[in-house]
Structure 1
Amino acid sequence: MEKIPSHIICLLLSSLKGQLNNADQKQLQNWLEAHPEHHKEIKQLENTLQKVIQVAHFKQIQPEKAWKNIDTHTSKRPGWKKKPILTRYSIAAGLLIPLLIGGILLSRLLPKEKNTPALSLVTKPEPVKPGSTKAVLELSSGEKIVLEESANQKIRNTKGEIIGVNTTNTIAFNSSANSCKITEKPNHIYVPIGGEYNVILSDGTQIWVNSDSRLSFPDHFYGAERVVELSGEAYFQVKHDGKPFIVKTKHSAIRVLGTAFNVCCYKDEASEQITLVKGAVKVKVGKKNYPLRPGEQLRSNPDSNTVEIRKVNTELYTSWKDNLFRFQDMPIEDIALKLKRWYDVNFIFQNEESKKYRFTGAVEKNTSLNELLRLIESTSTNIKFEIKEKEITVTKKQGVR
């Protein structure tokens, strides 16, 4: 069965916010009508996404301002000031009933334990903001250049030649072949925690580099192979030019001609994951080669010396490049690793059991961490988050065994 594309989820979220134009609304409706087999899953996603919107809306309520507005409107009624105080409050209560009902319903989504001041509506904490577009480029000469969003930077080599241009969140290296080979040393682009960046290599290959990742590559590719090295996570859309394209990680090498795939090889994760979207690749682990077909994922664990190939929904592993978090029955411990890199926070688990709770949902990456954690709490009867600046403590809710 066809999987739900990330762009359909984005359209669904925009629709719930009332932000779709007629053309997008028609596109969404046509897709829904053409895929009735997804109606149940779409309904679950609607419920999840609606909770995100409800949380954001409820957090904007200002009680003092609301009472002032009520007093302003009711004071204009004849005899309002003359009525006994109990009568006046009964009228105000009548106006507040819809708000109170909404608050009671939403309170089931927003736990109010006394030990969670950072998530309390009363304390109004500063939201933990999501990451942004940022990176540092280290040239083969050793020079370091800070890459900034919407900058228009010309990148030059030691001879003063322009080898690339940084603009609109992407750094693109020149494809001209008239540059002579200067050095064997590669360039490095480092994307820090809380960042992401796009790179277009000199051969036209496009690479989306995720948070806390490092990519090494030359100004131009010489010889019979195109070789880059990766630590962290990146999505590759390789340009076909007849030469094999090889991505080297600490424990494997991915060999392709022209294809699209995701590589996740963080040092703090137990396994490496290569997820093939289209085309074909061969992954070398140790001395053995493993061919992959579209929709397959290779997962290798160097500690246990095991390799597993399985069919997956590739959207779950590539949606990060499209500004979307997608989680499918994922343990909180694994979710915490992803959120740690994007929001630049630390998670502390009070017990091992809290790590194993699972969550399914889809959230835009520009959502504040506070709202995202509220969403997870609202869909789980077991998990509670306490936010204190950049430290997130994960515990079981009181009364949960």
Structure 2
Amino acid sequence: MNPEIEHIIVKFISREATAEEMDKLEYWLESDSNEKQFQTYVKLKFAIDYNLQVFNEDKVYEKHRKNIKKERKIYHLKKVSTFLGYAAALVLIIFAIESLVFNYTQKHLKVSGKPQNVVELHPGESKAILTLDDGTEVALTKGSVYKNNGINSNGEQLSYDREESSEAITYNYLTVPRGGQFFMQLSDGTKVWLNSDSKLKYPKNFHDNEARRVELLYGEAYFEVSPSKLHNGSLFEVNNGGRVIQVLGTQFNLKSYQDEKETYTTLVEGKIRLRADNADYNLKPNDQVVFNKETTLYKKRTVDVYNEISWKDGIFSFEDKNLEEIMQVLSRWYDIDILFKNEEVKQEEFVGVLSKNQSIEQILESIKIFGILSSYEIQGKTIILN
């Protein structure tokens, strides 16, 4: 689908399209093939009618299609930036329908075969374990406060004071368990978001005129790197399994889980160089390098970066992901185990944008609506998918 048209459709459904944009959409829909694209898009991403008490994709599609002419005159313009605004529009739509999803879920839990006496499995939260250079472990959780030797935490984020030091570099570790997520700021000002089941090794302080080196031992991290010009030109380097990402000042995402066969390096802004196995890969924004651990092969491709980084902003954005991949993500965030009764279901694909603040039942009901699952059961911390 043409990105401009997709943008207009999002604005139309979120009631932000201008009259001129509505004219463009109406003209575009005169083609039968475009009509089908529009129908599929509405069903997949916005298959909830705010005025209906049940989910009915066909009714949703018909209503939106018929309303284009009569509603285009009353739409007004709201500023939406090219990338963040587009993402925000999607997020606003999802949050707007969250209450309806919840109501639907509560009404239809019996249909899914979910026992009524099961304790609700809650979404993840900010939590981590800080390991100091002497081996001391500090639990960082909401409500806890830690301040010591230039290290500061309110239990939901961690920061380091910048200190000039000529002493030998000492390392700290930040470990985020399943069911957690955490934000930190290194002593050089670099910001890091760590996803569930991740571990980062980093210096307590960096030395000027030396490369600023950290290591993602496993998991996923988003880096917003403090520019080299603020540190006498020193590079920022991220090591991961023998691969080194060299940075001058940029934003990128690195995903490298132990239970996944591939690692993903995705550039959002600026420039980075990935050095591995005697080969260099220079990335520009929207580029992604995928490394297959089994074949040891690399491939470079262009991706929608929003799908790769939405996790840090409280959003699941799934596109071209099968159910097995999606359940891996959910299992880490909700700290649950997933059991497939039917192996074929693993390859079924789901496309959608969901809030990470929803309960696991709400997420499963959203997937179930599209006929991918017939039912599911919750037994303790195990989800059984049928």
1:56 aligns with 2:102: yes
1:130 aligns with 2:128: no
Shift in CA distance, 60/354, structure 1 to aligned 2, threshold 3 Å:
closer
Q: Which residue of 2 aligns with 1:232?
A: 219
Q: How does 1:20-59 map to 2 (within 5 A)?
A: 28=16, 41=41, 44-47=44-47, 49=94, 53-59=99-105
Shift in CA distance, 209/382, structure 1 to aligned 2, threshold 3 Å:
closer
Aligned residue-pair number: 320
Deviation at residue 170 of structure 1 after TM alignment = 1.5
Q: 2:139 aligns with which of 139, 146, 170?
A: 146
Give secondary structure in 2 for the equivalent of 1:284: strand
CA distance in 2, matches of 1:195, 1:138: 16
Give secondary structure in 2 for the equivalent of 1:175: coil
Could you tell me whether the CA contact under 8 Å between 1:139 and 1:186 is conserved in 2?
Answer: yes
CA distance in 1, matches of 2:314, 2:188: 26
Residues 119-163 of structure 1: CA distance to partner in whole angstroms, max 9, x if unpaired?
xxxx25332110000001001111111112254321x3xxxxx22
Deviation at residue 348 of structure 1 after TM alignment = 1.1
Residues 269-301 of structure 1: CA distance to partner in whole angstroms, max 9, x if unpaired?
000000100111111121211111100110001
1:354 aligns with 2:345: yes
Could you tell me whether the CA contact under 8 Å between 1:32 and 1:39 is conserved in 2?
Answer: no
Unaligned residue ranges in structure 2 (runs of 5+): 29-36, 49-93
Shift in CA distance, 171/30, structure 1 to aligned 2, threshold 3 Å:
farther
Q: Which residue of 2 aligns with 1:379?
A: 370
Could you tell me whether the CA contact under 8 Å between 2:145 and 2:153 is conserved in 1?
Answer: yes
Give secondary structure in 2 for the equivalent of 1:193: coil
CA distance in 2, matches of 1:260, 1:356: 32
Q: Which has the larger radius of gyration?
A: 1
Could you tell me whether the CA contact under 8 Å between 2:105 and 2:361 is conserved in 1?
Answer: no
Deviation at residue 43 of structure 1 after TM alignment = 7.0
CA distance in 1, matches of 2:20, 2:103: 27
Shift in CA distance, 208/32, structure 1 to aligned 2, threshold 3 Å:
farther
CA distance in 2, matches of 1:31, 1:139: 58
Deviation at residue 111 of structure 1 after TM alignment = 7.8
Could you tell me whether the CA contact under 8 Å between 1:251 and 1:302 is conserved in 2?
Answer: no
Shift in CA distance, 188/30, structure 1 to aligned 2, threshold 3 Å:
farther
Q: How does 1:213-292 map to 2 (within 5 A)?
A: 213-222=198-207, 223-230=209-216, 231-241=218-228, 242-292=233-283
Question: When the two structures are superposed, what TM-score results if normalisation uses the length of structure 1?
Answer: 0.72
CA distance in 1, matches of 2:97, 2:380: 24
Shift in CA distance, 32/280, structure 1 to aligned 2, threshold 3 Å:
farther
The structure showing larger relative contact order (alpha-carbon pairs under 8 Å, at least 6 residues apart) is 1
Could you tell me whether the CA contact under 8 Å between 2:195 and 2:221 is conserved in 1?
Answer: yes
CA distance in 2, matches of 1:264, 1:185: 25
Question: When the two structures are superposed, what TM-score results if normalisation uses the length of structure 2?
Answer: 0.75
Deviation at residue 383 of structure 1 after TM alignment = 4.6
CA distance in 2, matches of 1:268, 1:54: 35
Give secondary structure in 2 for the equivalent of 1:232: strand
Residues 82-106 of structure 1: CA distance to partner in whole angstroms, max 9, x if unpaired?
xxxxxxxxxxxxxxxxxxxxxxxxx
Unaligned residue ranges in structure 1 (runs of 5+): 16-24, 62-106, 157-161, 396-401
Tell me the percent identity.
31
